Amino acid sequence: MSSKKIAVFPGSFDPFTLGHLDIIERAIPLFDSIIVAIGTNATKKYMWTLEERKEIIEKALAAYPNVSAADYDGLTADFCKKHNAQFILRGLRNTKDFTYEQAIAQANEKVNGVDSVFLICSPEYAYISSSIVRDIARNNGDYYSLIP
């Protein structure tokens, strides 16, 4: 196992929000490097293309040399192994998020030996979700205060 502490922050990031950025900024001191892993799912209909999502993330993270972005297909745990990452970073807004993430985290640790690290989002971002941003965008609302 690598002596560097590498975390993968997976998601579809459709779109990348201030909540995502908050989690990454607060996780930077905990890890030597963080990879924002943009998952792709052929059956999912995205509002922003993979290229747009990756560009937005790279611009938002440009000031952080130990944070990078990459896209992937398949299992997050396989992506972690490929990049020698020992941790999966996840942000939690509420107990619903925790309940959803807990079983996934336990399976990833048991089956793949990858630990999950949860950070509770800052209170000022707890209401932001990508689905809310998409809904505002779909209805021609001003969502720019919710994204970097």
Query: Which is the catalytic residue, given 5, 93, 129, 134?
Result: 93
| Model pTM score | 0.93
Q: How many domains does the chain have?
A: 1
Ranges of beta strands (E only) in the chain are 6-11, 33-39, 67-72, 87-92, 115-120
Residue 114: inside a domain = yes
Residue 23: inside a domain = yes
Judge whether 20 and 11 are in contact, CB under 8 Å.
yes
Q: Is the pLDDT of residue 2 over 80?
A: no
CA distance 131 to 60: 19
Q: What pLDDT does 1 receive?
A: 47
Residue 124: inside a domain = yes
CA distance 86 to 56: 26
Active site annotation includes 20: yes
Active site annotation includes 68: no
Q: What pLDDT does 111 receive?
A: 87
Active site annotation includes 81: no
Please, which pLDDT band fits residue 8 given cuts at 50, 70 and 90?
A: very high
Among 78, 71, 89, CA closest to 29: 89
**Structural domain range at position 97:** 6-146
Residue 80: inside a domain = yes
Active site annotation includes 44: yes
**Cα angle, residue 110 at apex, residues 116 and 8 outer, rounded to 5°:** 30
Q: What pLDDT does 3 receive?
A: 84
CA distances from 8 to 11, 39, 45, 77, 115 (A): 10, 11, 23, 9, 10
The residues pairing with 70 across neighbouring beta strands, listed in sequence order, are: 37
CA distances from 136 to 10, 77, 129, 146 (A): 23, 32, 11, 10
Residue 1: inside a domain = no
List, for residues 96-141, the tens digit of each pLDDT value: 999 999 999 999 899 889 999 999 999 999 999 999 999 999 999 9
4: left (phi over 0), alpha (psi -120 to 50) or beta: beta
Residue 142: inside a domain = yes
List, for residues 46-90, the tens digit of each pLDDT value: 999 999 999 999 999 999 999 999 999 999 999 999 999 999 999
Mean pLDDT, rounded, for 8-34: 97
Residue 98: inside a domain = yes
Give the domain CATH number at 119: 3.40.50.620
Query: Which is the catalytic residue, given 20, 53, 54, 90?
Result: 20
